[in-house]
Amino acid sequence: MKVALVYDRVNKIGGAERVLLALHEIYPDAPLYTAVYNPKGAPWAKVFPKVIPSFLEKFPFAKSHHEIYPWLMPLAFESFNFDEYDLVISVTSEAAKGIITKPKTYHLCYCLTPTRYLWQSYWEYFKNPFWRVITKPLVVRLRLWDQIASSRPDTYIAISQNVAQRIKKYYQREAEVICPPVDLKKFAPKLYTLHPNPYSQKSSAYFLVVSRLVPYKRIDIAIKAFNKLGLPLKIVGSGVEERKLKRIARSNIEFLGQNLTDDELLQYYQNCRAIIFPGEEDFGLVPIEAQACGKPIIAFEGGGVLESVIEGVTGEFFSPQTPEALARVVKQFKDERYKPEECRKNAEIFSKENFKKKFKEYILRCQAIQHRGLTKRV
């Protein structure tokens, strides 16, 4: 069986990219098609036998700022030819589902979320009334194309029940749920690893944020809450909001950037009191990684985290989504309430082995339906 993988853009590392790496382990010969490819921002992609970008990457700044060309994304993915493949798997939160395949080529969409800025997060992305009016004609056209594109995959897999509900609401398609994987060998409590611990007991008194610094992650809520509390907060990550967030942060908040080694990130996980997770995510791998390291989560009560954190056992929720609500929960946080072994046990549900097993079983079911001569769409 000849397989190809498709992804929106290959220019960073995050949860979706880890899904692609797990799929590469299942299909090591599959090439990766994408709108734009930036090798410097995505060194992980070197494991693929071939990364095939579209014409879009030749446009100015497209490799690093693809978002300035939203109207070209549909054309970029429709320009690819998949006639030689038996199976194409698109991993997408935007336009990659819009590829065009012939009837003999099975198209499975692993959907991270329906396109955020067109649907569920439209008002967050277009807060400015003037900008909203100016972009309205483009948004209307992109919504129309997105609806058409959503009918092209033969089947959908969603990363969470939360996303499956959105797929049903916005695309009128059913989706099976297979949650993204976490590497349990890489993320583990101290007692599972041989890494020396360079931290003193005093330095372990911090809370931790691991996130891209972009608006929908709501890191501003964490900063405002910890400004008020005066407790140590370390932030791993970078993004378009970095300067803004640094301006409002007080001296008890430390920005560590994104260029940490795997060992450094692991030790920050292992030595924190808890992970702060203030945004509403489609699923969220950071809470799983933290639990794999034996650490609890303090998260906003919404989105995919409701499927991955057990309240009172592996973490706590806060609501509403405000600095004041988060500060109240952090103030009442008791370290002794949470057992590392319980956190680890919950994380093991999301192992890479489980992900690969479920994914392969799903593909076999789809192939069986095709061989019986039934409709492709399931």
In this prediction, residue 201 carries a pLDDT of 40
Distance CA 320, CA 334 (A): 21
Average pLDDT of the chain, as a whole number? 92
More confident residue, 65 or 87: 87
Among residues 166, 151, 146, the alpha carbon closest in space to that of 71 is found at 146
Residue 148 · residue 200 · CB < 8 Å: no
Q: Which amino acid is located at 88 in the chain?
A: V
Distance CA 44, CA 337 (A): 38
In this prediction, residue 61 carries a pLDDT of 87
**Chain position carrying tokens 């008020």:** 228
Q: What is the pLDDT of residues 102-135, one digit of tens each?
A: 999 999 999 999 999 999 888 888 888 998 899 9
In this prediction, residue 373 carries a pLDDT of 55
Residue range 250-262: mean pLDDT, rounded:
94
- Fold of domain 3-181+352-371: Rossmann fold (3.40.50)
Among residues 222, 213, 278, 211, the alpha carbon closest in space to that of 240 is found at 213
Percent of the chain with pLDDT strictly greater than 70 = 94
CB atoms within 10 A of CB 254: 12
Residue 346 pLDDT > 60: yes
Residue range 243-256: mean pLDDT, rounded:
98
Report pTM.
0.86
* Range(s) of the chain covered by CATH 3.40.50.2000: 190-349
Residue 193 pLDDT > 60: no
Least trusted range by pLDDT, from 155-159, 261-265, 365-369: 365-369
The DSSP-derived string for 328-347 is HHHHT--GGG--HHHHHHHH
Least trusted range by pLDDT, from 42-56, 135-149, 189-203, 335-349: 189-203
Residue range 279-296: mean pLDDT, rounded:
95
Helix (H, G, I), strand (E, B) or coil at 7: strand
Which of the four CATH numbers 3.40.50.2000, 3.90.79.10, 3.40.50.300, 3.30.470.20 does domain 190-349 have?
3.40.50.2000
Confidence of residue 198 (pLDDT cuts 50, 70, 90): very low
Confidence of residue 372 (pLDDT cuts 50, 70, 90): low
In this prediction, residue 204 carries a pLDDT of 65
Residue 233 pLDDT > 70: yes
Residue 24 · residue 5 · CB < 8 Å: yes
Confidence of residue 368 (pLDDT cuts 50, 70, 90): confident
Cα angle: 31, vertex 34, 39; to 5 degrees? 85
Q: Percentages helix, strand, coil for the chain, rounded to the nearest 5?
A: 45, 15, 40
State how far the alpha carbon of 87 is from the alpha carbons of 3, 83, 302, in Å.
5, 10, 34
Residue 191 pLDDT > 80: no
Confidence of residue 63 (pLDDT cuts 50, 70, 90): confident
